[in-house]
Structure 1
């Protein structure tokens, strides 16, 4: 197992007292469609974690996380409105790595170095099992959507287009 995927698995055990089995794929799972093909599920069952930077308002400069269904596109204006910011944009990859502790393409929805305010796409609740990144672009883990929202301390709200 890749060391970062093993680290993710260990962190979930230590922080949440939960055993999440990490699945690794040679083909990679960088996109929701690729992850769904590798896992053998619908693209909508992929729980993509998107880290967004806010500007303006009380949270100026803050990073927030959005866990969205692989079939949905995050509406950055809706994210800004939800968090009381003037605007929102995709987070800078190096800042994400520094603050969250994981690199884009493999950012898991949980086990961040710094806790981020997190929103959760209600579309994910339509599935019995969803799959999130497990620390690398080629690793995912399976979990019930309700459990994932709870572990991420996420607010369920639709901020997609």
Structure 2
């Protein structure tokens, strides 16, 4: 596995102007909120957890993937930040926020300002109802999308909770044994 710290330092864009617009917006928002990490541009897309993990040299579990749902009763965006190895149990999500359905690409872009594959946990046009997968708290280091399918940033689970202000919940689909 690649050492994440050296990867980040060697490939991070120090010049904000070199970042795509949405990633630059995330970088400025992170800086404003006191997060010292830099945006890392992956050489290949990070649209899937496996692609992002391969590009970073980390485990798939360390990818904090953002999945947006549409709450059925009021069309509110519901953001679930889950471990890259987990499938989200919509029934568990519904128990916390009400019934949800899948969000299409247009809804994702309109509500978040980000394209699918680059949805950051923060900085949404319409603030979402957010839940964080409890499995993420068992990890030391996470990687989250930074507004663009090639852009990510590193943070701890504690920082994720602080940045989002979101509750932690068991939302993973557990297959019967």
Within a 5 Å distance, the mapping from 1:15-34 to structure 2 comes to 16-34=33-51
Partner of residue 96, structure 1 = 108
Name the residue aligned to 1:67.
81
Cα offset, 1:99, TM superposition:
1.6
- 1:77 is matched with which residue: 77, 87, 91? 91
Deviations 1:116-144 (A, max 9, x none): 11110111112111000011111110001
Bigger shift: residues 69-78 or 88-97: 88-97
Q: Aligned-pair distance for 1:79?
A: 1.2
Q: How does 1:1-161 map to 2 (within 5 A)?
A: 1-14=19-32, 16-56=33-73, 60-83=74-97, 85=98, 87-161=99-173
2:5 match: none
Aligned residues of 2:131 and 2:166 also touching (Cα < 8 A): yes
Count residues with an aligned counterpart: 155
- Scaled by the length of structure 2, what TM-score is found? 0.83
Q: 1:82-132: per-residue Cα shift (whole Å, max 9, x none)? A: 11x2x3112122122112111111000111122211110111112111000
1:77 deviates by 1.7
Shift of 1:20: 2.7
Structure label with greater radius of gyration: 2
Give me the TM-score of the superposition, normalised by structure 1.
0.91
Structure 2, unmatched stretches of 5+, are: 1-18
SS of aligned partner of 1:115? coil
